Amino acid sequence: MKDQEETDKSVSPPGESFVYPDIHGFELAVNILRSLMSEVGTNRALEAIRGYSEVWGINAANMAKQRFGLKGSELEDVALPYYLYHCASSFGHIKPLEIRDGNAVVELYACPAMQIPNCPPEICIALSHYIAEGICEVTNPDYEIIFTHHIANRDDCCRYVVKKKSMNVDLTNPGNLQKTIPLNLSQEEIFTLATFVAYSMVNMFTSASIQLIGSERTLELALPQARAVGNNVGKKLMGELSSIGDLQVIGEKLDLFGSWYGRIGSSAKVNGLILEKEITECPCKGSPIEVCKQFEAVANGICEAINPDYSLALDRRMSEGESCCHWIVRKKAIKVVNQQEPTQDDSFGY
């Protein structure tokens, strides 16, 4: 058991130098949310997202129960699942879980929203609030999770209290500290869980968008933004290199990008005038095809940032029932309109 002074010293804010290694998935999700709210209004967008987030909370709670071997429905059984995922999404910038006179308190200092330009504060409702409802529903509906602070609202931390609905609790001082429960997660587990959260966000928000405005409009809004995300990723991958890359360089960077997101398959190989890459395992495997197409657009943006003469596309997708995904990179085709005006045909990409 730790005293309050020790708990306060156990973690500190990450500072402006902290950069999320997997921010790109979160950025896709935020772009979808922002676009959907603009299309149908905040209330309609949040109401559609609510059901998906609650289901995600139910599934996340069940996964965490297996992770910790939880079999009960009391305070720690309710608090630990969400604390696990916040440990990951904050990349460890979080206080140990505090148990206080029948309540639990969680305080974290890093959130992907901090590093996404113009992230709407409604992201906290769409995710944190609704996921919390799902966790309580499946673990013990007599409990609730109440948020008192949000980084997206310019607070210096995110903070929430887990309590019984029947209890009157001073949320600013929810009791004496009884014990703390730290989680010593490996960097590998943190990264895996954070990536899972990011993919889940893209899945949930894309599904809600399809429900409200249809597949065609969802992609019309999402793909240019996803491609822009990829362009930024590609520029960062090239670093200080001022020259453009060839197919070999594109393949190396796409292999690295794929490894960030748990894609398993063959290394990219140059075959004559094209580059090919096969993926046999991918988090998008069971997702709507619209999710797959967004990550394809990101990969295409990476490719173009490395060499604008090249474009990427998939001719086979696991999200369409194929046994693997097959990436192809090639030079953009040249279509001759007339003898004097050759133009570039960009139909291979987005």
pLDDT for 20: 60
pLDDT for 11: 61
pLDDT for 18: 54
Least confident of 212-216, 234-238, 297-301: 234-238
pLDDT for 19: 58
pLDDT for 3: 40
Q: CA 75 to CA 91: how far, in whole Å?
A: 24
Condensed to tens digits (0 to 9), the pLDDT of residues 17-29 reads 455 656 888 999 9
Mean pLDDT over the full length of the chain = 86
Measured at the CA of 11, the angle between CA 5 and CA 13, to 5 degrees, comes to 120
Q: Is pLDDT above 90 for 335?
A: no
pLDDT for 342: 42
Global pTM value: 0.85
* CB neighbour class for 98 (10 Å; exposed up to 12, middle 13-18, buried from 19): buried
Domains of the chain: 4-196 (3.30.1380.20), 240-345 (3.30.980)
Q: Is pLDDT above 80 for 36?
A: yes
Residue 324 φ then ψ, to 5°: -155, 170
163 pairs with which residues across the strands?
A: 144
Say what percent of the chain tops pLDDT 70.
Answer: 87
Q: Which of 274, 265, 275, 319 is nearest to 295 (CA)?
A: 319
pLDDT for 132: 96
pLDDT for 7: 42
138 pairs with which residues across the strands?
A: none
277 CB-side CA count, 13 A: 28
Is residue 258 helix, strand or coil? helix
Least confident of 67-81, 183-197, 259-273, 304-318: 259-273
Q: What's the whole-number mean pLDDT along residues 231-237?
A: 87
